[in-house]
Amino acid sequence: MAGQTVILTGSSQRRFAHSLIEQAPVGAVLNVKKAKRTVDQNAKMWAMLSDISRAAPEGRRWTTDVWKSAFMHALGHEIMWQQGLNGEPFPTGFRTSKLDKDQMADLITMIQEYGDRHDVRWTTPEASA
């Protein structure tokens, strides 16, 4: 039996997943997880971060990567510190590729709310709605 991936979008996929479980050999591994963030969510996030970076609210002239880290930190995502080549610590982590769809939606909502509060001019039609 080759590895199978099933996206549970309805009852027929759930039935198929149940049949796979019934046919699975002893010792097989089942991994059920939420869907990862979408390409569209990722593109929207970067467009919004670019808009915020250009607007520099409260005088913060940060790169899009710094803004992304700030928003992820505000949502409580973990950060790790590493020792840099010059001996100074620097943060790592904050990988949106690890977020599921719901977590990414929360991040986009936070970016939207912050930008709206600071009169950011959105370049994406969905963000300005």
Could you report the per-residue pLDDT of 88-105, keeping only the tens digit for each? 888 777 788 889 999 999
Q: HEC string of 29-44? A: CCCCCCCECCHHHHHH
Quick check: 126 and 112 in contact, CB under 8 A?
A: no
Over residues 72-89, the mean pLDDT reads 86
CA dist 101 and 92 (Å) reads 22
Hey, where are the domains in the chain? 1-32, 39-128
* Residue 20 tokens, joined: 């796979």
Among 35, 47, 39, which Cα is nearest to 111's?
Answer: 47
pLDDT band at 127 (very low <50, low <70, confident <90, very high): low
Predicted model pTM: 0.73
The CATH number assigned to the domain with range 39-128 reads 1.10.3790.10
